Chain A
Amino acid sequence: MDEDLDLVKKAAAGEREAFDDLVLKYQKPLYGLLYRMVSNREDAADLLQKAFVKAFTGLGSFEQRSTFKTWLYQIAINLAKNVYRDRARAEHVPIDDVIIRRNPRTLESLIEKENRLLLKDALAGLPEKQRITLLLRIQGDKKFEEIAAIMKCSLGTAKANYHHAVQKLKAVMGNRDEERNPLPDDDPVR
């Protein structure tokens, strides 16, 4: 049951208040996701507006096969993908190899936290679907069923993508821990 159905119908009919309510409800979590995907404040703000505009101008074609939230997130993710695909084309590198973070100011504020930096680099190196699944999951309010609907995949695939992403990041953290605290040569684990 789409909790937003009533608001969507009113917004489609031209009711300004319903329109504003939907924007206010989703703008912050959607902006958070978009920022994590493109790591640039201006790009994230631009994508946020474009996602809402595309969703509202396309309300006539919204067939309610999914919830409005799912549909909105799909639009936003596709727009964000276009941003870093364009970057990949400009840099002539495979899409998955694009280093998403380009904003030195963002990096500067995070560089003090070494683990965070390491994880972000590892995140940028993940395949696109695993990365997006993980980002959707860490927002905290997304169940796997919802993630599967947004990513247009099965529940099992959504869980598998998340599991693989986390395993890779844990491996990076584990390797880092080993580098910091190397095991002695006579350790039975070796």
Chain B
Amino acid sequence: MDIKELLPAFVAEGLSGEDLARVQDHLRACADCTREEAVLRVMAHEPIPDPGEAFWTAMPARVYQAVQREKSAKQPARGSRWRLELSRHAVFFRWASAAAAACLVLLVSWFVTVPLLHREAGPDDESVYVDAANVEVMRHASLTIDELAEPELDAVDAWAASGLASLASELGPAAENAFDTDLAEELAELKGPEADRLSTMLNELNEEG
């Protein structure tokens, strides 16, 4: 090892044996290293005020207590942890309630829109409506709109307004808004496959009618 690298250890009296002898011999002959050794010696031997034995003895306990205080400060208080859990549950319940309400609305709209009565084909192009027990409830001749007289048209219109309005109120504001929009606009927004499907359904209805 280079002599200069050994100088700090030499100054700290940490050398022995061969290394010690090497440094001592070198310092006798090298003014530059001697000067460096003098600088290091002055600095290393600068007295450092000793805080006292009590200071050293107490330091581990002081540090330990400070560490425990820091760790306690970082952990959330038990009360606030419970409040955190509760608020998380509250959010969950809110979402669960919203989901349940949506399911309920869908269920209601399903039962309202799907005919409760099963329709069967009757003779002479009549529609026969039967209930769940297959009891005939009514016979109704299929009619097209253009076959209806004006009072009948008014009745149909009134029925549509009241029936669909109740349906709209059950479906919620989204449905009400839907009735406010122009049907032509709605149809214009349909994509190709959707329009085709609607057209097929209408044709089937017409054929049945």
Contact yes or no, B63 A49, CB < 8 A: yes
**Hey, which chain A residues are within 8 Å of B9, CB to CB?**
140-141
Please, how many residues of chain B have a CB less than 8 angstroms from a CB on the other chain?
Answer: 32
Contact yes or no, B56 A28, CB < 8 A: yes
Given the known interface contacts A49-B59, A119-B43, the answer about A140 and B48 at a Cβ–Cβ threshold of 8 Å is no
Instruction: Give the interface segment out of A15-23, A62-70, A92-100.
Output: A15-23
The docked-state distance in angstroms from the alpha carbon of A114 to that of B53 is 30
Contact yes or no, A170 B35, CB < 8 A: yes
Contact yes or no, B59 A27, CB < 8 A: yes
Whether A9 is near chain B, meaning CB under 8 Å from some CB there, is no
Whether A57 is near chain B, meaning CB under 8 Å from some CB there, is yes
Contact yes or no, A53 B63, CB < 8 A: yes
Contact yes or no, A166 B8, CB < 8 A: no
Whether A48 is near chain B, meaning CB under 8 Å from some CB there, is yes
A138 to chain B, nearest CB (A): 5
Given the known interface contacts A53-B67, A144-B5, the answer about A36 and B60 at a Cβ–Cβ threshold of 8 Å is no
A116 to chain B, nearest CB (A): 5
Name B71's closest neighbour in chain A (CB-CB): A57
Please, how many residues of chain A have a CB less than 8 angstroms from a CB on the other chain?
Answer: 41
Scan residues 1-22 of chain B and give those whose CB is less than 8 A from a CB of chain A.
5, 8-9, 11-12, 14
One of B42, B47, B55, B63 near A109 (C-beta < 8 A): B47
A125 to chain B, nearest CB (A): 14
Contact yes or no, A35 B67, CB < 8 A: no
Name A33's closest neighbour in chain B (CB-CB): B48
A-B contact pairs, 29 of them (CB 8 A): A16-B64, A19-B63, A20-B61, A24-B56, A24-B59, A24-B60, A27-B56, A41-B49, A45-B51, A49-B62, A53-B66, A110-B46, A113-B42, A115-B42, A116-B42, A119-B39, A119-B43, A123-B43, A138-B43, A140-B8, A140-B9, A140-B14, A141-B9, A141-B14, A169-B39, A169-B43, A170-B39, A173-B38, A174-B35
Shortest 7 CB-CB distances between A and B: which pairs? A140-B12, A20-B60, A23-B60, A52-B63, A53-B66, A138-B44, A169-B39
| Partner-B contacts on A (CB < 8 A) | 16, 19-20, 23-24, 27-28, 31-32, 35-36, 41, 45, 48-49, 52-53, 56-57, 106, 109-110, 113, 115-116, 119-120, 123, 134, 137-142, 144, 166, 169-170, 173-174
